[in-house]
Amino acid sequence: MCLLSEANDNFDETPIEPEVLPLDGWHRAKGARMVEFAGYWMPVQYEGIITEHLWTRAHAGLFDVSHMGQLLVSGPDGDMDSAAAALEALLPADLAALKPGRQRYSLLLGEDGGILDDLMVINRGDQFYLVVNGAAKWDDIAHLREFLPDEITLNHMDDQALLALQGPEAAVALARLVPHAADLRFMEAAELDWGGVLLGVSRSGYTGEDGFEISVPAEAAAALAEALADQPEVRPVGLGARDSLRLEAGLPLYGHDLTPEIDPVSAGLSFAIGKRRRSEGGFMGAEAVLAALDGGTPTLRVGLVLEGRQAAREGAEVFAAEASVGMVTSGGFSPSLNHPVAMAYVSAALAAPGTALTIEVRGKHLPATVVPLPFVPHRYAR
């Protein structure tokens, strides 16, 4: 499984040295192979991508996702109504109905309805906590600062690290350190104490497995990572397996499966548009998005299963007979299923499960079949 990364377009400029995250030394001491990703040195693997992938599916993998942006949005004097209204002008989620301790997936949209980023939003009671993608966070922060009203405060939590503990044994492992974490259900969150360190814990993740994301002060990140890795169920896992796990789970990656040229309906993310927001609108890009909900879109994101062992990667062209009908946006060999899978945007008329297509890989047309997403069933603790 290849690691997906973004290209540097500034060819005439002096290369910028990647930044170092709080757990850099910890990763290197654990034998991680480090690569540049989203402007940071990040661990791509420790023991090997397939080994780490299968361990996470069976036990619990520990991921460092501190490159993600952690943001706090608050209204004057903790007024959540004004904070919700301000965010709802930019996001299609129904945040006014989001209760304290609950989390929701949402999208940052452009004026034309294109996806600027996907993100998580948690109601912390007196403020909204957002997690945005690392490669897009500076653009997101600039966008939010431009469009949020002056009375709304936006803070970038650059003094926090972010860990993800994912897998069917994640709850057992984390509960030994933070017992109340096991009381959370999928998409619930709480601030919990770990030996005097306040952790922001949510039961969520990016693998399709049960698991948690844990915001921790940077100075305590290495101690927490070590305490988690000491649990018999837990091993550190790199970005390579994170990518293969999310692909099997049918979860889109921003900058690849999601871009400003792709709308939520085409992406199969209509669930992120709240029922009230569909009737009322009022969010950036609403006119285009609601028209797409009503009339459909020319292309749709689909899952594809390939015959044989050869994988199709991002950029591979999809064909029906001799006609080009789409493009692969993520692809690779599935360690869990033992065959290649891909996600692609294809003509809506060819998006039904069972449709036979081909993908051009190295001059050959490989047979592929449209299948429902996800490829591997989600196992969230609902």
Q: Phi and psi dihedrals of 54, rounded to 5? A: -70, -30
Rg (CA), the chain: 21
Q: Does residue 180 surpass a pLDDT of 70? A: yes
Sort 27 into a burial class: Cβ within 10 Å, 0-12 / 13-18 / 19+: buried
Q: Can you give the pLDDT at residue 3?
A: 37
> DSSP state, 261?
T
Q: Does residue 11 surpass a pLDDT of 50? A: no
User: Which structural domains are found in the chain, ordered by start?
Assistant: 24-66+159-248 (3.30.1360.120), 298-382 (2.40.30.110)
Q: Put residue 148 in one of left, alpha, beta given phi > 0 → left and psi -120 to 50 → alpha.
A: beta
pLDDT, tens only, 269-285: 999 999 999 999 999 99
Amino acid letter for position 286: A
Q: Does residue 12 surpass a pLDDT of 90? A: no
| Closest to 169 (Cα-Cα) out of 23, 62, 51, 27 | 62
**Reported pTM:** 0.94
DSSP string covering 74-138, please? E-GGG-HHHHHHHHHTT--S--TTPPTTBEEEEEEE-TTS-EEEEEEEEE-SSSEEEEE-GGGHH
pLDDT, tens only, 64-95: 999 999 999 999 999 999 999 999 999 999 99
pLDDT, tens only, 195-221: 999 999 999 999 999 999 999 999 999
Q: How many beta carbons lie within 10 A of that of residue 139, not counting itself?
A: 16
Distance CA 128, CA 99 (A): 11
Average pLDDT in the 179-184 region?
97
pLDDT, tens only, 115-137: 999 999 999 999 999 999 999 99
Q: Does residue 8 surpass a pLDDT of 80? A: no
